[in-house]
Chain A
Amino acid sequence: MATLIKDRRIVADNWLLLSRGPAGGLPEVPESGDVIVPLALWLSRREDFLAHPKKIGVWLDANEGPEAIAGEVERFAVIAVNFPKFGDGRGYSIARLLRERHGFKGELRAIGDVLHDHLYFMEQCGFDAFALRDDQDPQAALSVFGTFSDGYQTSVLRPTPLFRRRLAAGKP
């Protein structure tokens, strides 16, 4: 079973991530087991899923927005966001929007080209689970969350910007 970094710990991953077919075709959903389905699958079979509620996850690609599941994020135990390439930063905005605007409280998982040096910012943006690329060392990656002790801006982990905290502390 694959491993996952979840809440800064290495854990076993019980979820099966269903990919789209090479031509974008939708995968079959297995009878049992926890699955994370592509957004398109969720949207096309939404009525079925709602009629037979089960624990389910959905994943968004970088070009898909959280707007597609606005108002129903609480139906998902896991929302995963795909990073097609580590340099593609759309997932950071998607994560913040899911947390800050759509109120998602469940597991927010980074999938795809997820690398050691990017976990710090991902976590700041609201990801709490990281399916590292296969060649990455999860043990070594745990150290990366402490890279910076603070940050200037607002983020999901630090909703109050540094300047307000400085002022509150009376720092000149």
Chain B
Amino acid sequence: MYLYDEIDQKLVDERVVQFRDQTRRFLAGKLSEDEFRALRLRNGLYIQRYAPMLRIAIPYGLLSTKQLRKLAHIARTYDRGYGHFSTRQNLQLNWPKLEETPDILAELATVQMHAIQTSGNSFRNITTDHFAGVAQDEIVDSFAWCEVIRQWSTFHPEFSYLPRKFKIAVNGAKSDRAAVAVHDIGLHAVKDAKGEVGFKVLVGGGLGRTPMIGFVIREFLPWPHLLTYIEAILRVYNRYGRRDNIHKARIKILVKERGPDKFREEVEAEWAHLKDGPSTLVAEEIARIESRFTRPSYAKLPATDPGLEAALGSDRAFATWHARNVFPHKKPGYAAVTLSLKKTGIPPGDVTADQMDRIADLADRYSFGELRVSHEQNLIFADVRQSDLHTLWREVKALGFATPNLGLLTNIICCPGGDFCSLANAKSIPVVEAIQQRFDDLDYLHDIGELDLNISGCMNACGHHHVGHIGVLGVDKNGEEWYQIQIGGNQGEIRPGVTASLGKVIGPSFARAEMPDVIERLIDCYLARRDSDAERFIDVVHRIGVEPFKEFVYGNADQRPAHRRGQLAAA
């Protein structure tokens, strides 16, 4: 954890006072709906379908057990006893009371938390690789860089009223586990020939209505220039980004309309003024930030644990879980463990207050009192001794978080959808459940292998459907909920050579009841066409294209109209 100093704390406390005053003035009729809206959104407060929704920031997904217990307490005291971990590594409460939100923020401030800029047209939570600091392919520990950017982007006086929301992701490892190519700014740490750290800077990626892969504005930005360069990008965006149409206001549209080269020129011209200015970072500051992070005091352990080896040999269920949900660690004798929040029948990312307390107890016992939230909506214990894995697995299993489906079809990323969200065109959670029920046979699931299935209830794409190997989008047709399918999306270069890509729509949409069948047909096509077990769904789509899948799902061209009529009749 980054531990606040007195100034960090004071700013968060002052934010609570400010928002309390704003809420009071709104309730007293002194602030209009519209004016208060802009203010409450930048404190994470939405007015949703049934009640307000409060989005609490979990900076770069890192959480202490003390904080998790506080979240449990808040969920129990001010809400209905549960919370929802989101794809932005935040926690959402779906039933708080507007007049109590200042109290919630005050409670959060006591554990160095807040809801600052979790919504509104400003910088959102900086996200990163959930294996930061422990991955074997680490280039830098991205947490420190995320904190540098968090501080710079918090209450930025010039950039607090941007044309639209702004999302920054940082990846510090060779594999991109932070989806940097689909962010407004993506930063991928790299080292040059001399071993100096810098960042590959991508701009203009994003999902939503106009999905785009970011373009590389700089192959190598030496780290001291990180903030001045971002500042130059933001100044160009703040001045020239479109404000006439909310759907064209993201930076990706500016990049597209200007053209990447012209955009780069403008940024470089602006940067010429800012470069080497006072915001230029210095090594002492990076060291200071790093020193304020708590770090596990690792024991010196052998690389392998005989007890673990024995358990893997004798306990098949444990071995299955270990193969999927345990990630190798850079320190010998340790491992990172994913607690799956994707159990069939539970909305993805949902955790009850009691479960939060239990998870906090486990993290205290097994992982140095810290945990992470992944953008895939799971929880990570990053620093578990290999010798503890078997015991931990039993405990996690008892809590229902040991579904061995990480990276598999049922590890579905999903937004809250029409059950909660007022923007949604369609429900997403019941679709997830139906698909999880259809694919509940673990052997079959493991045979299918790695597959990202992402579901969004509307084109705002909170469920990241464009970058799912299979993406599902809820659409509204004359007041009815339908689901459009796309395939071939990929969130980032998690494996070398398979870069980030956007899915292609395979054809007309489907009724909800058809969804498990349709997914199964896509899987059947994949299984029939793959060269070997090693060739994943996404690899096959990239190799043979979308057309064979289309035919498998809709029948060939002659059969399509009849199939379609049948579908419509069924609906």
Contact = CB atoms under 8 A, between A and B. Distances in A.
Interface in A44-67: 65
Interface in A63-95: 65, 86-90, 92-94
B67 interface: no
Nearest to B157: A124
A1 B131 CA distance: 62
A167 B157 contact: no
A149 B39 CA distance: 19
Contacts of B157: 92, 120-122, 124-125, 151, 153, 155
Contacts of A31: none
A30 to B, nearest CB: 33
Contact of B158 (A96, A120, A161): A96
Contacts of B162: 89
A101 to B, nearest CB: 6
Interface residues of B, number: 40
A115 to B, nearest CB: 6
B239 to A, nearest CB: 5
Contacts of B239: 65, 90, 93-94
Contact of A155 (B7, B35, B158): B158
A164 B279 CA distance: 8
B160 to A, nearest CB: 5
Interface string B143-164: 0000000011011111111110
B11 A150 contact: yes
A89 B123 CA distance: 13
Contacts of A125: 157-158
Contacts, number: 108
Interface in B156-188: 156-163
A104 to B, nearest CB: 15
Contacts of A139: none
B441 interface: no
A162 interface: yes
Nearest to A100: B273
Contacts of B151: 152, 162-163
Nearest to A165: B7
Nearest to B243: A88
Interface in B222-238: 235, 238
Interface in A98-112: 101
Interface stretch (B88-96, B280-288, B383-391, B520-528): B280-288
Contacts of B7: 150, 162, 166
B121 interface: yes
B278 A167 contact: no
B5 A88 contact: no
B288 A172 contact: yes
Given A87-B161, A121-B161, A164-B282, 12 more contacts: A90-B238, A92-B157, A92-B161, A121-B157, A148-B155, A152-B151, A152-B152, A154-B278, A155-B157, A163-B151, A164-B278, A167-B284
Of all A-B residue pairs in the complex, the 5 with the closest CB atoms, nearest first, are A89-B161, A124-B157, A121-B157, A152-B151, A163-B285
13 contacts: A86-B161, A87-B38, A89-B161, A117-B35, A125-B158, A148-B11, A152-B155, A152-B156, A161-B278, A164-B282, A166-B288, A167-B282, A172-B292
